[in-house]
Each structure stands twice: as structure tokens, then as C-alpha cells.
Amino acid sequence: MSQQNVHVLYVEDDPDDIILMREELAEASFAGFNLQNVTNVASALDYLGNYQTDIILLDLNLPDSHGLETVSTLREHHPELPVVVYSGRDDYDLAVQIIQEGAQDFLVKGRVDANGLSRALRFAMMRHRAHRIPPESEAQLRSLISGIADGVLVISQEGLIVFANPTAEVLFGRPAAKLVDSFFGFPLTDHGASQVEILQSGGKVIHGEMRTAMIQWKGKPAYLVSLRDMSERRQAELALEAAKQQLEVNARELQAANLSLQKSGHLKDQFLSTMSHELRTPLTGILGLADVLQTQNCGALNEKQQTALQHISESGRRLIGLINDILDYSSIEAGQLKLAPALCQISQICASCLRSVAGQANQKKLHTSLKVEPPDLLVKADGRRLKQMLVNLLSNAIKFTPEGGSCGIEVTASADERLVYISVWDTGIGIKAEDTIHLFQPFVQLDGRLAREYNGTGLGLVLAQRLAGLHGGWVDVHSEVGKGSRFTICLPWPN
């Protein structure tokens, strides 16, 4: 069957599952699936009588049929077509019964990724062909399985290898001549996938995934065995677990360091700087490894592994951000942070900052806006540090604004005062008047409830204030509980 023209009939009545299946097959690295959908067995039989179909993908619980009856009905009317069950039930006994009923595979929803689904469908078609190939067509079967990327063997009922394709030779580290007539050694069952460890002659262990199906070989029942090399995925899983553990260790160390250093004065600044440098190096490596694994070049990842990688990346980048804030704060406190001031067009910088936080704002469905008067206003500042101040203020605005609210930037200038006012405003929870005196204290959030509800270290506002001071300016705050806040960076207006 050409990889470019596989006609799949998906018998499923759940609209969400149908949409997800279309997305999964569209994402598969093996392109060319033509997915058609019907919602019950009666419609499936009608469709199969009128349209070309290569394989049936089947949910067990449909409006007009349930369980084994669903498989047996379709198999009775169309035994020429392979059936793969795609069910929400993770039931081993049911899977065995389904395979015995004639289905080629039993897949559990949410347990297989796009490429795994694609491979399962194509291999099911191959196994179905193998079942239907008569003894005199053994040459066709040999040709079919010799070109498959997975290792494929034919095992007699006595457990002896009678055929091995080139990939199997590579997996076992032995030529086919030495494999044939040797004992296979792994338990053979005609359902599901199992994990095996293949010991090569040189002592190397290959981690593999094995699937089996019954066929006729030279007129006798035999097992068709598919072996996929999962060693790279296994190594990736181990590396991922090690990276996760290292990230947790680093996070705990950093948290403990922050708690103890809040009361240590000058030693705090020196120690934080040292610790941050030491932590940033392994974190950068962990994030780089996570990025490589997410490309799936080392092997396909299932949904849980992809979610774990995403959590590692997000947590690592938050820690990198925290470390950078600590380094900047320590440099400012030590008088070592140097600015590179230049004339900047404020509208471009503000627009860039809003784009940087657009993802956070979209997640909370916030409306954002930008107003600069006059539009071509220039300010003399270190562009990178000005962006850092604005992004910190915008992140706080988004963090403390309920879903559906608004936030934005307004910029004005006073010719008389020779000042530029860059205001970040929001419609968030606001701040009590008596609490504003604590806003610019490092590592402080206004109360324990906020610290638990909103993630943060309390460094964002401190850095904005300190950086504004280095520019010869300051930060003003105006806030009303329940209505929102406005933080204004006041900078000198260049002549």
C-alpha cells in the first residue's frame, strides 16, 4: 500500500475525538492519510459498500453497537479489510478478546502519539496482508518485509527463526544465516506490544518494542514478529529523568538560598551572584537537552513525555529569568551594572515589549493597547534595560489582572518639566495605599496570600526602580483596590 494514498474509515461518534484524530494523522511524519468518518456501524457498512477503504479505525461503543459485537459485525461483512480498535478503555482482557475476534491491533486513546498511530495503522495493514498471502506467495511476503524499516522475523511454532530481514540482522548483530534456525528466546503472544532487551554478540543491549501476529508460512502457522529499536528513546527518557531530577535539585537549592539570603546584607548580594552563575550553567545545558528532545530527532515521544518536557522547559526558563534578575540586582547593589545609553524611539520599544508578553496576555484573554504622544518621541536610555523595566511591569500587570481585563502602555512628555512619562496600567486587583511603601523592597510580596496565588520573587519592581534611578529617573505608582494600578517610569527628556 502506497504511503501516499491510505484511505482510513474512522467509525467514531464523538466530535472531539474525530477532530483530534484528524490532527494526529496530519502531524504524522508518514504523510498521506485520507480520513473519512461515520458515526455508527450501519453507516460504516453503507460506506464500505460504495467507497474505497484500506483500513478501518474503530471505536467500540457506538450508538448502534457495543464491544465485541462492533468488531465481529464489521469483520463478518468485510473480512478483506484490517480493523484497528481505538478505544478509551485500557483493558488488557478486552484487548485479548478483540485481537482474537480478528482485529489487527488494540490502541488506547491518549496512549499513542501521531507517529505511533501512523506506524500502528501501516503495520496493521501489513499484518493483515501477511495473513491473507497464500503459501505460494512467500516470495511476495519476503519482498514486502525485507524493505521495512523495523526488524521483521518469522518464527515457527517451535520458536525457531525461519526468516529475518536486514534490519533484524542489524538489531541482533548477526547475519541472517546465523539467525535462521536459532531459538528466538522471547515469549510470543498474538496481541499488543511488549518491551524486550536484545543482547548482541558484542555485549551491547538493544531496547526494543515487539509486536507479533499469526501468519501462514510455507503452509504452516507461524509468528510474524516486528521489532523496533527503542534504544535512543530509552536513553532520551533516562536523560530526561536525570535532567528533571537535576532541575528539582537546583530549584530546591536556589529556593533555600533565597530564603536564607533575605537577611544577610552585603554577604547576600555576593553569595547570590556566585550561586546564580553556578546555577545558570547547568540550567542552560538542561534547557538545551530539553529542546533537543522536543525535536523528537532522538525518537518519538508520547503525550506524557512531551508534557514532562514542556514542564521542564517552562520551569527552567522561569529559573533562568529568576537567576538573571538576581544577577542584575546584585550588580546594581554592588555598583557594577553599566548602561549603554542612546537615543531610542519609544514607540518601537513599547511595541516590542507588548509583543514579548502577548502570549501571557492571550492566555488570560486580556485586551492590550499602546498610546504614544507624540508618536516620534525619542528618549535617551539603554534600550535593553528600558525593555527589561517595561516587560517586568507588563508581566506584573498581566499577572494581577483577572481574565478578560485590560492593560497597556501610555507615553506622554512634558516640555516644561523636560520629562518623559512611560506608564504601564492595568484593570487588576489594585494595591492598598498602606502597602505601597513595601512595593520596592527586594524579595517581598505584599502578603502571603498573594505569594501563594501569584508566582514571583518580588524582584521585578525593585529592578524597575533601580534601573530607572540609573537613568536619572524614578518610578511612580498610583493604585486603587479593585480598579487597577498604574506604574509610571519618569525619565529625563533629551534636548
Question: Is 262:268 a contact under the CB 8 Å cutoff?
Answer: yes
- Condensed to tens digits (0 to 9), the pLDDT of residues 276-294 reads 667 667 777 777 787 788 7
- What is the pLDDT, as a whole number, of residue 2? 42
**pLDDT band with cut points at 50, 70 and 90 for residue 489:** very high
CATH superfamily label, 342-492: Histidine kinase-like ATPase, C-terminal domain (3.30.565.10)
The pairing of strands 6-11 and 33-38 is parallel
Using the predicted structure, report yes or no on whether residue 438 has a pLDDT greater than 50.
yes
Domain 234-333 classification at class level: mainly alpha
- What is the pLDDT, as a whole number, of residue 452? 45
Of 304-313, 363-372, 441-450, 482-491, the one with minimum mean pLDDT is: 441-450
What pTM does this model have?
A: 0.43
- Condensed to tens digits (0 to 9), the pLDDT of residues 92-138 reads 888 888 888 888 889 988 888 888 888 888 888 887 776 665 545 55
Of 88-92, 133-137, 386-390, 454-458, the one with minimum mean pLDDT is: 133-137
Nearest residue to 8 via CA among 28, 32, 42, 39: 32
Q: Please report, for the chain, the start and end positions of each structural domain, with discontinuous segments joined by +.
A: 6-132, 135-229, 234-333, 342-492
Q: In 134-221, which residue ranges form alpha helices assigned H by DSSP?
A: 138-146, 166-172, 176-179
Instruction: Using alpha carbons only, give the angle 386, 353, 377 rounded to the nearest 5 degrees.
Output: 60
**pLDDT band with cut points at 50, 70 and 90 for residue 453:** low
Using the predicted structure, report yes or no on whether residue 9 has a pLDDT greater than 80.
yes
- What is the pLDDT, as a whole number, of residue 488? 96
Of 63-72, 209-218, 477-486, the one with minimum mean pLDDT is: 209-218
- What is the pLDDT, as a whole number, of residue 270? 63
| Fold of the 6-132 domain | Rossmann fold (3.40.50)
Contacts of 129 (CB under 8 A, 6+ apart): 144
Domain 135-229 classification at class level: alpha beta
- What is the pLDDT, as a whole number, of residue 240? 85
